[in-house]
Amino acid sequence: MAATFVLLLTTVIILGVLAFLRSCYNLYTYWKKKGLPYLPNSLESFLINWKLSLGYISFTDFSDYQYYKFPNARYVGTLDFGVPSIFLRDPELIKDIMVKDFEYFPDHRAFVDETVEPLFGKNVFSLRGDRWKEMRNTLSPTFTASKMKFMFELVSKCSHNFINYLVEHPELCHEMDTKEVFRRYTNDVIATTAFGISINSMKHRDNEFYVRGVKASKFSSGLFATIKFVLFQYPRVAKLLNLSFFPPGTAKFFKNVVQETIKTRQEKNIVRPDMIHLLMQAQDKENGTTSHKMTLDDIVSQAFSFFFAGFDTSSTLMCFAAHELAVNQDIQDRLRKEVEQHLAEGNGEISYEALSKMIYMDMVISETLRKYPPVIMLDRLCVKKYELPPAQPGSKSVIVEPNHILALPVYSLQHDPKYFPNPEKFDPERFSDENKDKIVPCTYLPFGHGPRKCIGNRFVLMEAKILLAHLLQKFTLKTIEKTIEPVVYTKKEFSLTPIGGFWIGLEKREI
């Protein structure tokens, strides 16, 4: 009897292993059977994946490897954590996917299930289908011209407070980690524009808004991060292990802040034309066409996503812009002249209208976003069968199935010499009136494109431009011993982060 049981158990185990190996084989040869160039197609490409997971190469290196492995293919087959996916290289196809055929690819892949992490899973970036449309329509009025003008005054006040503090504390300016200080500025901006709370993070350095933001924005790569990310794809396992996308207490803190803000506004009949107000209005509406009723968690998630994006993404943009201005004094001098011209016309102040007329400022910021995009790669999720044209001459078209993922290599496209000659050179002239129309559509995608384009991109640009304008008015940006040029990216972060940080010096100008 015992021998029979052991034989039966051994047979089951062997069959299980064989079934698993067969499944792996079918997965790894999925695109090969369709006649498509694919990765991993060799030991080299298999090792590249592991090097990324273990933190031996950067995410930009990984993207470039896939981008240049088959230089004549319009797209390449690959795998995304066991799911067949397509790595798109051709700007024309990317435009079709993001705009013309958006109905086939309306969603992002699921990073975290909302039942595991509502703070991330319920925000407008993560939502899908009709719920995404409803939330996008609710939030869109936040960023109209009239609302932007209102928020401009609040942002400008934060910028003045920030710059004045630096003027009054010259000891901070000799050598400065701009990431640390710019995040204090973006923290104050989001606190006042989204939550209606006034904070001065330069004075009150350990305020909870700032501390929570720093902790929430730490995303490292490496084996542990990869394993955690994989586990998040299985909500039941993630809940069983009590995994959280953000540090403990983050969700509770922001939920309490939003609850108190809503309560105060309702009790005192306070109306501020900001995101919280629009979400409160949406919650109060009795709309029979809306299939999903707005909950407190929905409001908290949108407010937090606005905070999170504004806190880290905006400050990183300012850091790279400040770095390039310090390295390229001629560009800095030209930009300062433009700022001073508008300051003179506005009696020492910069208005919303004046900021929008700063042509060279826009060129500098655009080139910063080209060289240092906020995301290295974008994605789209297929929701119904779609036929891609042949990847190469002589090959067959390929059917993309529902749940397949499409990867859009923003960083690699924006650093391809074919589209941007001498891509490592910081050259704002690429975006001059004479040259910007020559840029191939969908090779420049810092905020995405089409209906899923970043909803707050105009706000981010305004926030960065007003700070740089005030900074250049009072200071000269200079390189110091700690400034690393050219920038070398750390392999421990998914976003573009220099090894050693962002270091420059500020020299007070005599005005």
158 is in an annotated binding site: no
Cβ atoms 423, 416 nearer than 8 A = yes
Distances (CA, A) of 149 to 144, 153, 222: 9, 7, 43
Give 506's strand partners. Answer: 477
Give 88's strand partners. Answer: 75
How many whole angstroms separate alpha carbon 22 and alpha carbon 26? 6
How many whole angstroms separate alpha carbon 250 and alpha carbon 417? 42
Backbone phi and psi for residue 30, each to the nearest 5 degrees, phi listed first: -55, -50
Q: DSSP strand E in 74-188: where? A: 75-80, 83-88, 176-177
How many whole angstroms separate alpha carbon 83 and alpha carbon 85? 6
Question: Going by DSSP bridges, is the β-strand pair 83-88/405-408 parallel, antiparallel, or unpaired?
Answer: parallel
Residue 382: Cβ within 10 Å count: 22
How many whole angstroms separate alpha carbon 166 and alpha carbon 170? 6
How many whole angstroms separate alpha carbon 455 and alpha carbon 432? 25
Distances (CA, A) of 475 to 43, 478, 511: 52, 9, 10
Cβ atoms 396, 35 nearer than 8 A = yes
Give 407's strand partners. Answer: 87, 379
Residue keyed to tokens 């993922």 = 405
* Tokens found for residue 6: 């052991």
Residues in the chain: 511
Cβ atoms 214, 315 nearer than 8 A = no
How many whole angstroms separate alpha carbon 479 and alpha carbon 95? 39
Give every CB contact of residue 301 below 8 A, 6+ residues apart in sequence: 118, 119, 120, 121, 122, 123
**Comparing C-alpha atoms, which of 107, 124, 128 is closest to residue 404?**
107
Cβ atoms 276, 296 nearer than 8 A = no
How many whole angstroms separate alpha carbon 319 and alpha carbon 81? 33
- 153: part of which helix (H) or strand (E)? helix 145-168
How many whole angstroms separate alpha carbon 346 and alpha carbon 333? 20
* Tokens found for residue 40: 């991993």
> Binding site for heme: which residues?
454
